[in-house]
C-alpha cells in the first residue's frame, strides 16, 4: 500500500506583531492546499530587516498566543535559537531534513517573491527547488513582470513556473498595527485579545516620549473594532454607512420586536431558515432565534456535496450550538440526488450559462425543501437576502428570492457585517469569510459581480440615499469611473428582475 505523504505549510517572517491577517492567510492555505498543518516560524535576525523590533522571544510568545487552541497550527523556535542572521535557504534545508517524508509548502507574499527574483535572498532561485512556494497576492494588484528591470525578466519567468499563486485580500498589515499603537488607537479588530494584552504588559512598540493611551480593549464610538478580524475592512466604510453601537442596538431591538409581532399577528410560533455558514444567513438566523427562542427555530443545512465546503457545514453547526438550538432542530438534507435528476433532463436543452443554470436549480431546490418543512412544522420561512444583493439582482428567482419574512433586506452587505460583529454567537470564522453562494467551486459574490462590496455599497448608497452624481462619487469616495459604471449598469439591468412579477393593470 502506497504511503500517504503529509503536506506541511511553513509561514515564516518577522511576525512583528502576529495578527489576524496571519491567521486568515494560514487558514486559507490550509483549506485551499489541503495541508495537514502549518508551522509558524518567527525569524531570529532577518537579513533584510533593519528597523528595531521586539526580541525574538517576545515575537515567539505572541505567536503562541495567536495560534492558541488551533491544533493544526504550531510555532517553531528554530530561527530564534540561532541568534544570528537567518537565511531562508538554510532554514529550508533544515526542515527538508527534519520533515523528510513530507511535502513542504513555503508561504510568502509577493514582495518576498520580488526580492528572490532580484537576488536579494541567499541562494537566489535555487531556493525555489527546496519547497513548493505559495505566493499570496492581492486580487487588485497582481504581481507585474513588466515592473521588473530587464535583467530580472528571464529569472521571473523561471520562478513563475515553479510557484503557486493565491489571490487573497487581507486589509491588515503589521506596519499599520505598529503605527496605530504609537498613536494610541484601538487594535481589537486587528490583533487577538491575548496578544494585545501581552503588547500592553511588555509596553512593546511605544516610545518613552509618547503618552500611554489606552489602546487595549478601548471602547470607541463605532462598533467596527469591537472584536476579531472581519472580511470587510471597517475602517474603510464611509461615515454614512457606519453604525454606532447605539444604532446597532436600536436596529437589532426593532428587528427582533418586529419579527416577534409578525409571528404573533398571524398565529405562528415557529420558523425555518437555510443556514450556509455565510454572513447573511448567520445574522438572519440569529435575529430569528432572539425573537422566537431556540426551540422554535429550525436550521436547515442543504449542501450539494462536492461543492458545498465542509467548513460551511461546520460553521452552521457552530452557530446552532452557540444559539443553543436543540440538536433535533439542526437538520441536514443533501440536495445532490434531486438536483442531478433534474439536471440530467434539463442539460439536454442548449443555451444559457451552464454553471448559472445548474446553480439556480440548486437554489430553487433548497427553497422547495424549506417550504415543505415549513408546512410540516407549521412555520414561516425566514429569508437571508441583503439590500446589496437585491439592488444588483444577485439572487435566483424562485430560489433565495422567495421567503415569508426578510429580516436583513434593508441592510447593505457591509452593514450586515457590522451588525453580525455585534453578536458573539456569530463566530470570527464567519466574519472573516468572503461571501459566496457556493453554487460552483471557486465562486465568490465579488468575483462574479466584478467589484468589492465596499465599492458596491458605497456607489449604491450614494445614488439612492445621498442622491449624488457619478462624478461626485468618483471624487468623494475615490472609486474608479469604470467601477462605478459597472455597478450602475448591473443596478439598472436588475430593475425589472427586482420588480417581478409584473401585474397587468388591464
- Per residue, what are the HEC states of 306-329? CCECHHHHHHHHHHHHHCCCCHHH
Contact 8, 99 (CB under 8 A): yes
* d(C-alpha 349, C-alpha 351), whole Å: 7
The pLDDT of 422-445, averaged and rounded, is 90
DSSP category for residue 478: -
* d(C-alpha 104, C-alpha 480), whole Å: 41
| pLDDT tier for residue 211 given thresholds of 50, 70 and 90 | very low
| pLDDT tier for residue 152 given thresholds of 50, 70 and 90 | low
Q: Worst-scoring range by mean pLDDT, 30-39, 333-342, 382-391?
A: 30-39
Strand pairing report for 102-109 and 6-13: parallel
Q: Map residue 447 onto helix, strand or coil.
A: helix
Global pTM reads 0.60
CA distances to 242, 262, 264, 350, 419 from 250, in Å: 14, 18, 21, 51, 11
| Phi, psi of 166, deg, nearest 5 | -125, 120
Tens-digit pLDDT profile for residues 162-209: 788 887 777 788 888 998 888 887 776 788 888 988 998 888 987 543
pLDDT score of 217 more than 80: no
- Cα 275 to chain center, whole Å? 17
CA atoms within 13 Å, Cβ hemisphere of 24: 27
Question: What is the per-residue pLDDT for 75?
Answer: 94
Contact 216, 180 (CB under 8 A): no
* d(C-alpha 22, C-alpha 221), whole Å: 27
Tens-digit pLDDT profile for residues 74-86: 999 998 887 677 7
Q: Worst-scoring range by mean pLDDT, 86-95, 205-214, 236-245?
A: 205-214
Question: What is the per-residue pLDDT for 165?
Answer: 82
Q: What single string gives the DSSP state of each residue in 49-102?
A: --S----HHHHHHHHHHHTTT-TTEEE--HHHHH-SB--HHHHHHHHHHHTTTE
| Phi, psi of 6, deg, nearest 5 | -75, 140
Contact 135, 40 (CB under 8 A): no
CA distances to 68, 80, 190, 347, 421 from 225, in Å: 21, 32, 8, 48, 9
Q: Which three cell numbers stand for residue 375?
A: 408546512
Residue/partner pairs of 93-96 with CB below 8 Å, 24 or more apart: 93/130, 95/10, 95/39, 95/131, 96/130, 96/131
Contact 37, 68 (CB under 8 A): no
Tens-digit pLDDT profile for residues 92-127: 999 999 998 899 999 988 778 778 777 788 877 788
- Cα 326 to chain center, whole Å? 28
Please report which helix (H) or strand (E) contains residue 133, including its range.
Answer: strand 132-137
Could you give the domains of the chain?
6-167 (3.40.50.620), 174-230 (no CATH), 245-439 (3.40.50.620)
Q: What single string gives the DSSP state of each residue in 354-396?
A: HHHHHHHHHHHHHHHHHHHHHHHHTEEEEP---HHHHHHT-S-
Closest by Cα among 371, 370, 367, 374 to 269: 374
Share of the chain above pLDDT 70, in %: 88
Closest by Cα among 129, 134, 103 to 12: 134
CA distances to 21, 75, 252 from 189, in Å: 10, 23, 21
Tens-digit pLDDT profile for residues 274-310: 999 999 999 999 999 999 999 999 999 999 999 999 9
Amino acid at each position: 500500500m502506497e504511503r500517504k505523504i503529509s503536506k506541511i505549510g511553513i509561514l515564516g517572517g518577522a511576525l512583528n506583531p502576529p495578527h489576524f491577517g496571519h491567521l486568515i492567510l494560514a487558514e486559507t492555505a490550509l483549506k485551499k492546499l489541503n495541508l495537514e498543518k502549518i508551522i509558524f516560524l518567527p525569524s531570529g535576525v532577518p537579513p533584510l530587516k533593519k528597523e528595531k523590533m521586539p526580541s525574538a522571544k517576545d515575537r515567539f510568545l505572541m505567536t503562541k498566543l495567536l495560534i492558541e487552541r488551533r491544533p493544526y497550527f504550531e510555532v517553531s523556535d528554530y530561527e530564534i535559537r540561532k541568534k544570528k542572521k537567518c537565511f531562508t535557504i538554510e532554514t529550508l534545508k533544515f526542515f527538508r531534513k527534519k520533515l523528510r517524508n513530507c511535502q513542504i509548502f513555503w508561504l510568502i507574499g509577493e514582495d518576498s517573491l520580488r526580492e528572490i527574483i532580484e537576488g536579494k535572498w541567499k541562494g537566489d532561485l535555487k531556493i525555489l527547488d527546496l519547497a513548493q512556494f505559495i505566493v499570496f497576492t492581492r486580487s487588485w494588484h497582481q504581481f507585474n513582470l513588466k515592473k521588473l528591470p530587464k535583467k530580472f525578466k528571464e529569472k521571473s519567468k523561471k520562478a513563475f513556473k515553479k510557484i503557486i499563486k493565491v489571490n487573497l485580500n487581507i486589509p491588515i498589515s503589521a506596519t499599520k498595527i505598529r503605527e496605530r499603537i504609537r498613536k494610541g488607537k484601538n487594535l481589537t479588530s486587528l490583533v487577538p485579545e491575548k496578544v494585545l494584552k501581552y503588547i500592553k504588559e511588555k509596553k512593546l512598540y511605544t516610545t518613552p516620549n509618547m503618552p500611554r493611551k489606552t489602546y487595549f480593549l478601548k471602547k470607541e464610538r463605532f462598533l467596527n473594532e469591537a472584536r476579531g478580524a472581519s472580511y470587510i475592512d471597517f475602517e474603510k466604510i464611509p461615515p454614512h454607512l457606519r453604525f454606532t453601537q447605539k444604532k446597532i442596538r436600536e436596529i437589532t431591538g426593532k428587528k427582533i420586536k418586529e419579527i416577534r409581532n409578525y409571528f404573533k399577528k398571524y398565529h405562528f410560533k415557529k420558523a425555518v431558515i437555510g443556514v450556509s455558514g455565510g454572513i447573511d444567513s448567520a445574522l438572519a438566523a440569529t435575529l430569528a432565534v432572539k425573537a422566537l427562542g431556540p426551540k422554535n427555530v429550525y436550521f436547515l443545512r442543504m449542501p450539494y456535496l462536492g461543492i458545498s465546503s465542509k467548513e460551511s457545514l461546520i460553521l452552521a453547526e457552530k452557530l446552532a450550538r452557540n444559539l443553543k438550538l436543540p440538536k433535533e432542530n439542526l437538520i441536514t438534507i443533501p440536495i445532490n440526488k434531486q438536483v442531478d435528476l433534474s439536471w440530467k433532463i434539463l442539460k439536454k436543452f442548449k443555451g444559457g450559462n451552464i454553471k448559472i443554470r445548474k446553480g439556480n436549480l440548486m437554489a430553487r431546490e433548497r427553497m422547495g425543501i424549506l417550504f415543505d418543512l415549513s408546512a410540516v412544522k407549521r412555520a414561516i420561512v425566514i429569508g437571508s437576502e441583503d439590500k446589496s444583493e437585491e439592488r444588483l439582482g444577485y439572487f435566483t428567482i424562485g430560489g433565495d428570492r422567495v421567503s415569508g419574512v426578510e429580516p436583513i433586506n434593508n441592510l447593505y452587505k457591509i452593514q450586515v457585517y457590522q451588525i453580525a460583529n455585534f453578536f458573539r454567537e456569530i463566530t470570527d470564522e464567519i466574519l472573516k469569510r468572503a461571501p459566496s453562494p457556493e453554487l460552483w467551486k471557486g465562486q465568490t459574490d465579488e468575483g462574479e459581480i466584478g467589484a468589492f462590496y465596499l465599492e458596491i455599497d458605497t456607489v449604491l448608497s450614494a445614488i439612492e440615499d445621498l442622491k449624488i452624481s457619478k462624478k461626485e462619487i468618483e471624487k468623494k469616495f475615490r472609486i474608479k469611473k469604470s467601477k462605478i459604471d459597472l455597478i450602475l449598469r448591473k443596478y439598472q439591468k436588475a430593475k425589472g428582475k427586482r420588480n417581478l412579477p409584473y401585474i397587468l393593470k388591464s
